[in-house]
C-alpha cells in the first residue's frame, strides 16, 4: 500500500471522530509550537471531533499541561492529555497497592529532576543503586550534555545484579529546538543490548492506547486517527492498537525524508523510509497543518 501524501489535515477530518495527537515533533519541538499546529487543534474541536494529546513524556500530566500553556496551547484546545509518566505512575501505584504512599519497591531513579515527581507517584521508594530492586528510568540526568556511553558502566552493573528496568519514555530521541536529545528509550535499548530486562510504558505499547479508548466510550477504533512523527512509537503504536495513523514528516525523520523548507515530499523516499521501519501509515503530511 502506497503512503498517501496529503496537503493538509482537512483532507481527513470527515473520516474520524477521535484525533490522537503526539506532542514532540508533531505539535512542538520543546521550544515553540509549529506554525499551523494550534489552528488544527482549534478547527478539529470546533468541528465536533474529540482531541486527545498523547505523549511519551515521563512527567505527570500537570507539568506537561503547564508547559503547553506556556507555548500557547491552552487546555481548551484539547479534550484530554495523557502522558506516559501519568500512565506509569497509575499502573505501578495500583500494583503496589499503596497509591501515593512511600512503601513498596525500592527504585533507583535514573533521569532528570523534572521527572522525579513521577517516581514519587508510583507508590515506591527511592534508594541508592546498591539497595535498589528496580531501575526507574525517565532519561539521561543531563540530556543536553551527556551521552549514552556515560551510563554503560552503571547499566552493566544493573545487568549483573539482574535488576529489571522500568522505562517511562520509550522514545529513543526527540528534537529539542533543533538539537537531537537522547531519551529514556535509548538507555533502555542499551540496557537490553547488555542483557538487561526492560518494561516499557507509553507508545507503541498497546496498554496506553487501551487506557485512552477506555476513557473515550462510544468511539470506535475505526474512527480514530493517531497523528505523530515517530515511526517506531506513534505509527507502530497505532498499528498495534488497530487504528489508522497520519505520519508527520517534519519531526524525527525529516532528514531521512530530505524534507526541505518547501514541504515537498518525494513519494519513493516516503515509501522507503516507512518500509525500512516496517510500517505503513495511512497518509503523510510534511507538518501538522490544516
Establish if 231 belongs to a structural domain: yes
Categorize the per-residue pLDDT at 100 as very low, low, confident or very high, splitting at 50, 70 and 90. very low
Establish if 81 belongs to a structural domain: no
Instruction: Report pLDDT for 103.
Output: 58
Segment 68-81 shows an average pLDDT of: 97
Categorize the per-residue pLDDT at 96 as very low, low, confident or very high, splitting at 50, 70 and 90. low
Asked if the model's pLDDT at residue 226 lies above 90, the reply is yes
Residues 193 and 126 in one domain: yes
Full residue range of the structural domain in which residue 47 is found: 4-56+203-285
Q: Which residues of 227-258 are buried (b: 16+ CB within 10 A; e: fewer)?
A: bbbbbbbbbbbbbebebbbbbbbbbbbbeebe
Residues 47 and 97 in one domain: no
Asked if the model's pLDDT at residue 104 lies above 80, the reply is no
List, in sequence order, every residue forming a beta bridge with 4; answer none if it has no partner: 283
| The last residue of a domain, from among 153, 184, 200 | 200
Contact in structure between 129 and 108 (CB atoms under 8 Å):
yes
Residues 217 and 162 in one domain: no
Establish if 219 belongs to a structural domain: yes
Asked if the model's pLDDT at residue 172 lies above 50, the reply is yes
Residues 214 and 195 in one domain: no
pLDDT tens-digit readout, 227-253: 999 999 999 999 999 999 999 999 999
Residues 22 and 47 in one domain: yes
Instruction: Report pLDDT for 95.
Output: 73
CATH number for 51: 3.40.50.1000
Establish if 86 belongs to a structural domain: no
The total number of structural domains that make up the chain: 2
| The last residue of a domain, from among 200, 226, 248 | 200
Instruction: Report pLDDT for 140.
Output: 94
Residues 185 and 215 in one domain: no
95's grid cell:
500494583
Categorize the per-residue pLDDT at 175 as very low, low, confident or very high, splitting at 50, 70 and 90. confident
Asked if the model's pLDDT at residue 62 lies above 80, the reply is yes
Handedness of CA 36, 39, 43, 44 (dihedral sign): positive
Residues 183 and 262 in one domain: no
208 to 58, 67, 246, 287: CA distances (angstroms): 13, 22, 18, 25
pLDDT tens-digit readout, 6-19: 999 999 999 999 99
What whole-number distance in Å separates Cα of residue 191 and Cα of residue 193?
A: 5
Residues 181 and 211 in one domain: no
pLDDT tens-digit readout, 116-143: 999 999 887 899 999 999 999 999 998 7
Residues 8 and 49 in one domain: yes
Amino acid at each position: 500500500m502506497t503512503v498517501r501524501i496529503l496537503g493538509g489535515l482537512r483532507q481527513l477530518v470527515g473520516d474520524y471522530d477521535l484525533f490522537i495527537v503526539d506532542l514532540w515533533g508533531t505539535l512542538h519541538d520543546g521550544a515553540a509550537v509549529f506554525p499551523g499546529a494550534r489552528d488544527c487543534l482549534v478547527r478539529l474541536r470546533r468541528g465536533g471531533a474529540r482531541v486527545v494529546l498523547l505523549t511519551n513524556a515521563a512527567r505527570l500530566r500537570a507539568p506537561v499541561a503547564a508547559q503547553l500553556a506556556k507555548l500557547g496551547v491552552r487546555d481548551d484546545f484539547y479534550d484530554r492529555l495523557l502522558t506516559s509518566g501519568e500512565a506509569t505512575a497509575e499502573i505501578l501505584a495500583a500494583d503496589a497497592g499503596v497509591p501515593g504512599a512511600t512503601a513498596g519497591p525500592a527504585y533507583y531513579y535514573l533521569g532528570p529532576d523534572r521527572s522525579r515527581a513521577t517516581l514519587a507517584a508510583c507508590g515506591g521508594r527511592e534508594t541508592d543503586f546498591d539497595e535498589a530492586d528496580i531501575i526507574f528510568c525517565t532519561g539521561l540526568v543531563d540530556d543536553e550534555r551527556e551521552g549514552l556511553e556515560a551510563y554503560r558502566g552503571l547499566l552493566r552493573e544493573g545487568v549483573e545484579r539482574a535488576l529489571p528496568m522500568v522505562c517511562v519514555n520509550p522514545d529513543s530521541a526527540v528534537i529539542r529546538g533543533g538539537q537531537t536529545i537522547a531519551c529514556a528509550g535509548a538507555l533502555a535499548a542499551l540496557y537490553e543490548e547488555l542483557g538487561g530486562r526492560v518494561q516499557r510504558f507509553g507508545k507503541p505499547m498497546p496498554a496506553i492506547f487501551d487506557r485512552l479508548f477506555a476513557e473515550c466510550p462510544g468511539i470506535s477504533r475505526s474512527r480514530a486517527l493517531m497523528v505523530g512523527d515517530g515511526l517506531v512509537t506513534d505509527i507502530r503504536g497505532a498499528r498495534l492498537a488497530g487504528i489508522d495513523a497520519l505520519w508527520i514528516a517534519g519531526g524525527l525523520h525529516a532528514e531521512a525524508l530530505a524534507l526541505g523548507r518547501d514541504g515537498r515530499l518525494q513519494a519513493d523516499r516516503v515509501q522507503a523510509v516507512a518500509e525500512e521501519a516496517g510500517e505503513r501509515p495511512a497518509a503523510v503530511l510534511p507538518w501538522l497543518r490544516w
